[in-house]
Amino acid sequence: MKILTVLTYYRPHTSGLTIYAERLAEAFARRGHQVTILTSHFDKSTPAEETRNGVRIVRAPVAFRISKGVIMPTFGLLAWKYVAENDVVQLHLPQFDAPGFATRARLMGKLAILTYHCDLLLPSGLFNRLVNTVVNFQNHSAALLANHIVTYTQDYADHSPFLSNYKHKLTPILPPVQLPPAPQGAVAAFAQQHAVAECHPVIGMATRFASEKGVEILLAAMPAILEKHPKAQVLFAGQHLNVMGEQAYFERLAPTIKKYEENGHWTFLGNLNPEQMAAYYPNLDVLVVPSLNSTEAFGLVQIEAMMSGTPSIASALPGVRRPVQMTGMGKVVPIGDSAALAEAVLDILAEPKKYQRDPAEIARSYDPEHVAEEYERLFAKLRE
């Protein structure tokens, strides 16, 4: 089968959406499908076209940016070409260009499948409200034209203002999650580099530094955690500088973070590759996902942590709460409640064995091969 995957940002951009798309595309390729990624050439250091791990990547020229979006004048022409060459068009939403691709797919008799990752909620402001309105209109147009919609969990679908309109053509499929084994000695080397034996317990947060991620909730929880564990430290994995659209948010929290950095209670690690993440998670006592709104639909890092034996604390957002609820490997706390987050951290630190589960069993449900097989069954059903 020939599969065209369309999304605005792909590697080297790092987000839950791009990681999902990459894992699924490469799983399709391993299973014998011909996979093409059509995306934006937002990073000029990358080639306009390349093949990686069996997946062909085509990057369309970017003329300029609007907020977190990009304008690609040739994208429409490329759409005709690549939709015609493929059997299935998989669109990752939110995505401004999705209706055009869904329309072309229907006109050419191709399957149009939407993978809906999250609702779009940009920061306040007249311009961002306009962007939200336009993208929501585009998403609804794409959903009406698409043959089917996939989302991570029924929990998220039941609470999403967008997805609740399309229950008649909606299938939940758990996201693909995988981690390579940590290189020999990497876990111990990581522990030594970050003084885990001396500065513990270790609280992890693995995400982009963005307003919807709730970094301030963890910051507000720190005094109560440090009162009980004066040597506790936070290891923040992920981009924290120059995150698109998040400079003001970072600058607002930077003074507080700097104080914790100076006292050895907070360290920014930057983006870590998969092997480094495999060494990171086992060194954590707990991972926190204090996300604040429905732009977070699951939190793939929770499963990565659990596969490494590390429990998670998640806010009670629909979808985001499901990994903990399904596994029992952690705690769910009210959204935006720093006191509850601190209490949950302390509870897990006091009884860590209570939150341990079989990592291999968790990994099986999220194996990219299994997820790709679920998509294949959906494609076959829709083609009947």
Distance CA 265, CA 199 (A): 8
> Which domains, from first to last, does the chain contain?
2-176+367-383 (3.40.50.2000), 186-364 (3.40.50.2000)
End-to-end CA distance of the chain: 15
Q: Are 176 and 371 in contact (CB under 8 A)?
A: yes
User: Which residues in the chain come in under a pLDDT of 70?
Assistant: 67, 121-124, 127-128
**Amino acid present at 60:** A
Q: Are 330 and 312 in contact (CB under 8 A)?
A: yes
Distance CA 195, CA 198 (A): 5
Bridge partners, residue 71, by sequence:
64
Distance CA 189, CA 344 (A): 29
**Angle, CA of 199, 200 and 206, to the nearest 5°:** 100
Distance CA 320, CA 294 (A): 9
What Cα–Cα distance (Å) separates residue 114 from each residue in 99, 127, 149, 150, 233? 10, 26, 5, 6, 40
Give the pLDDT score at 188.
96
pLDDT digits (tens, 9 = 90+) for 130-162: 777 887 888 899 999 999 999 999 999 999 989
Q: What are phi and psi of 279, to 5 degrees?
A: -85, -25
Measuring CA to CA, which residue among 125, 58, 280 is closest to residue 189? Answer: 280
Give the pLDDT score at 246.
87
What are the residues whose beta carbons fall under 8 Å from the beta carbon of 227, sequence distance 6 or more?
Answer: none
Distance CA 73, CA 69 (A): 13
**3-state DSSP: the chain helix, strand, coil percent, rounded to 5?**
45, 20, 35
Element (H, E) at 300: helix 300-307
Give the pLDDT score at 304.
96
Measuring CA to CA, which residue among 294, 349, 345 is closest to residue 153? Answer: 294
Token representation of residue 147: 């043959």
- Largest CA-CA distance found in the chain, in angstroms, rounded: 63
Provide the pairing of β-strand 111-116 with 148-151. parallel
Beta strands in 191-276 (DSSP E): 202-206, 233-237, 266-270
Measuring CA to CA, which residue among 373, 353, 376 is closest to residue 364? Answer: 373
Measuring CA to CA, which residue among 61, 67, 50 is closest to residue 11? Answer: 50
Bridge partners, residue 380, by sequence:
none
Measuring CA to CA, which residue among 100, 136, 143 is closest to residue 4? Answer: 100
Give the pLDDT score at 219.
98
Token representation of residue 180: 């390579």
Q: Are 146 and 169 in contact (CB under 8 A)?
A: yes
Token representation of residue 176: 């693909």
Rounded mean pLDDT of the chain? 93
What Cα–Cα distance (Å) separates residue 337 from each residue in 290, 298, 324, 328, 343? 9, 19, 17, 20, 10
What does the CA dihedral 166, 84, 74, 50 come to, rounded to 10 degrees? Answer: 100
Q: What are phi and psi of 283, to 5 degrees?
A: -90, 0
